[in-house]
Amino acid sequence: MTTTTTTKLMDDRRKKPIFRQNIQLSDLPLDVLGTILSKLPPKETVRASTLSKKWKHIWTVCPKLRFDGATMCGDDAATGTHQYTHKFIGNVNGVLKQYRGKVVQELETPWLQGNSAKFSQLKYLQLEFLVLREDLSNLLSLASFLSAAPFIENLEIHSAGVALPDCSELIRRLPRTTHNYLKNLCTTGFAGCTGQVELLAHIVENAPNLETLTVDRVNCSRYDEEYERKSRSKALDIARKHLDGRTSQNTKVSML
């Protein structure tokens, strides 16, 4: 066979269509389909779930959920009103009830304080914030997150900022609100300032079934090593002093 003939045969093969099985998106197993859809923006995944009855809950593969007022409430109520707030929280609860994931990583609700509505499906909450010097004495207000999530089981509080281990002898206390479902509490960036102590004491004394408590000291690298050692020791001493008598005997406490 000559080179010319061989080349012609190869060209003919390239031109000849290759017939494959006609596989549609709906033929894919749900786990494979879920993997594909999880790569899309959440809004597009939700749209895809309306294409087939079998896909009704396929949107729950989304690794992250973002709730905003325009999506959850539309234009039915004015932003910031009591009606708007209740509708928002009610719709979020409805979504979380169907969601197969166990973790909501980000939850931004600036109007939680003083609100009677509840996030009844929220089990895990992680708060991350930068504490400004002028806000150090008002950290107790963060307790409103617990009031809005009565079934919370795991709570993490991660704070960053400049604070010194200096706590008042007498600390403020809020009315007693029992959080029977809270099992694990971890707070990092603990400097031993009054606001941090007030918040920590409030949560602990209202969590009778708390199983683990972790208090992690902030690392002030801008100070010398000796100062940091003394500062850390003082901060943890402050924590022990104010937690004494407030922590359940069944709680495993770790001071880092």
Identify the sign of the CA torsion 215, 218, 224, 225: positive
The DSSP line for 23-67 is --GGGS-HHHHHHHHTTS-HHHHHHHTTS-GGGTTGGGG-S----
The answer as to whether 147 is a domain residue is yes
Q: Is the pLDDT of residue 205 over 90?
A: yes
pLDDT, tens digit, 9 for 90 and up, residues 22-59: 666 667 776 777 677 767 776 676 677 677 777 666 66
pTM for the structure as a whole: 0.57
Q: Is the pLDDT of residue 17 over 60?
A: no
The answer as to whether 87 is a domain residue is no
The answer as to whether 133 is a domain residue is yes
- pLDDT confidence of residue 69: 65
The answer as to whether 131 is a domain residue is yes
Quote the CA–CA distance of 164 and 80 in Å, as a whole number: 36
The answer as to whether 96 is a domain residue is no
The answer as to whether 106 is a domain residue is no
Number of domains the chain is built from: 1
The answer as to whether 39 is a domain residue is no
The answer as to whether 127 is a domain residue is yes
Structural domain that includes position 241: 123-256
For the segment 199-217, the average pLDDT, to the nearest whole number, is 94
